[in-house]
Amino acid sequence: MTLMFWLIASSMTLCVIALLVWPLLRRTTAIAMGERENKLEVYRQQFAELEQDRKNGVLNEDLYQQARRELERRLLDETGDADTTPATARWQVNRRLVAAILAIIIPTVSVALYWKLGNPLAMTHPSASSLSAQGNQDPDHLSAQGIEALSERLKKKLEQNPNDGVGWALLARSYVEMGRYRDAVAIYEKAMMLIPDDAQLLADYADALGVLHGRTLEGKPELLIQQALKSDPQNVKALMLAGTVAFDRKKYAEAARYWDLARMNLPPDADPEVVQELASAIGEAKNLAGEKGKAATANAELAGSAKATGQTGQSLAISGKVSLAPHLASKGSPTDTLFVFARAMEGPPMPVAIMRVMKKDLPFTFRLDDSNSPMPARKLSEAGTVVIVARLSKSGEAMPKSGDLQGMSQPVKPGVNGITVVIDREIP
């Protein structure tokens, strides 16, 4: 991106300079030759008139020779090299000076104007809107190594320009993508000081802070969410987080209302999985809101059963190991993304728990529980029978694509340990 930008900008600048400077350099010679030709034409006419006067007898031979010598002397004085060269040289020096000044001023002023009025940061990292939409998805699907390299470059640039709030926000989102939530929260604080009323920034900050505080949105994260909704009542992520807060407090009707608003404001190109997951959460919240008393009793019984057996949401985990079949070991690169997720046998196909690492971590020991659930309305501990899927993605996307490598376990229930998943086939 940076190299291509500078090549295009440099080419355009050189074309402009050439269009302005070339006529200045050519004009000196053209003017000098034009003036010389005009003078010669005048003297040719005078010589012709002199010759005609001699033929007509107006001038005798002595007067004719005297007048001719006088014309020749004047011709040499006015068109000779000794006189015209200094004048021409003086004009050349002046015009070349103007051309040189233009060649310096044009690129200098262009760069200064772009730096002041343009967006130099766009040459080194993506736009804020594309990174912030849909819960910090990465539209370019960068690998973990690529994100880290980009973040380091961005950090160095921001050290030179510390008042760039958009840049700090992008850096914080990069840290979230790498799982560095503590670093992300500190950077979000800086961005907030520079851009205090950005709804997307507030929602992203609340999300990262909630993860850092044990995946709870109570306290400061909730205040940030409300501040985001005050700034933009239609911000999708803020609405989704507000619905999560309400759902966790068993305010199911309020949760459904927030999630309904979020679904209505999803962009047209929203991921179908996000749309389906949101619809599932809305349906569950509405059902719970309509059967609140019955749901409360069922939840109390479930909690009592879990307490009696010692099975909490965190202990209802599934653990095991993922390995790669020998005949596929040469495929892909060490930085390919490894997704390990649990998918319910019944209901929507979205994961109820998911982890993401890289191929170089294989063989990988995993542990999935409710803390890995992407949506609070669908938890692993409540999913019933699931299958564990391990997928090596070249693009970094969770959606399967041709050429990805995949393996799957037998159906299991939460609370089972020692699962073995072998990645043994290539998706056609």
pLDDT at position 321 over 90: yes
> What pLDDT, on a 0 to 100 scale, did the predictor assign at position 349?
65
pLDDT band for position 408 (50/70/90)?
very high
Per residue in 33-52, pLDDT (tens digit) is 666 667 777 777 877 887 88
Gap between the Cα atoms of 221 and 223, Å rounded: 5
**pLDDT at position 114, please?**
67
More confident residue, 204 or 281: 204
Q: CA 213 → CA 188, 225, 398, distances in Å?
A: 15, 15, 26
CB 382 within 8 Å of CB 361: no
Most confident option among 6-15, 181-190, 228-237: 228-237
Residue 395 phi/psi, 5-degree rounding, is: -85, -15
| pLDDT higher than 80, residue 117 | no
Residue 311 pLDDT > 70: no
The single residue listed with the structure tokens 């205090």 is 196
For residue 331, what pLDDT is reported? 87
Structure confidence at residue 340 (pLDDT): 92
Q: What one-letter code names the amino acid at 84?
A: T
Taking alpha carbons only, the member of 242, 236, 196 closest to residue 221 is 242
Q: How much is the pTM? A: 0.40
What does each C-alpha distance from 360 to 144, 229, 337, 364, 396 come to in angstroms?
12, 41, 9, 9, 14
- Report the residue count for the chain: 428
pLDDT higher than threshold 90 for residue 19? no
58-105 per-position pLDDT tens digit: 777 777 787 788 877 777 777 654 444 444 444 445 667 777 777 788
Average pLDDT over residues 202-214: 85
CB count, 10 Å around CB of 254?
17
Task: Give the whole-angstrom CA distance, residue 121 versus residue 137.
Answer: 20
How distant, in Å, are the alpha carbons of 35, 246, 330, 404 from that of 327? 86, 49, 7, 14
**What is the C-alpha separation between 193 and 48, in angstroms, rounded?**
89
User: Residue 135: which pLDDT band, with cuts at 50, 70 and 90?
Assistant: very low
pLDDT in tens, 146-156: 667 777 777 77
Query: How far apart are the C-alpha atoms of 178 and 186, rounded to whole Å?
Result: 15
Phi/psi of residue 137, nearest 5 degrees: -65, 150
pLDDT of residue 298: 43
Share of the chain above pLDDT 90, in %: 11
Nearest residue to 261 via CA among 204, 58, 351, 246: 246
Of 9-18, 95-104, 129-138, the poorest mean pLDDT is in: 129-138
| 168-177, 247-256, 350-359: segment of lowest average pLDDT | 168-177
Q: Which of 379, 381, 383, 386 is nearest to 247 (CA)?
A: 379
Does residue 371 or residue 88 have the better pLDDT? Answer: 371
Of the two residues 428 and 143, the one the predictor is more confident about is 428
How far apart, in whole angstroms, are the C-alpha atoms of residue 280 and residue 229?
23
pLDDT band at 26 (very low <50, low <70, confident <90, very high): low
Q: In whole angstroms, give the CA distance from residue 216 to residue 78.
A: 95
Residue 142, pLDDT score = 47
Question: How far, in Å, CA of 29 to CA of 25, rounded?
Answer: 8
DSSP state at residue 229: H
Give 30's DSSP letter. H
* Contact by Cβ (8 Å): 323, 362: yes
Q: What is the pLDDT of residue 72?
A: 78
pLDDT at 309 (0 to 100): 41
As a whole number of angstroms, the distance between CA 189 and CA 392 comes to 35
pLDDT score, position 54: 78
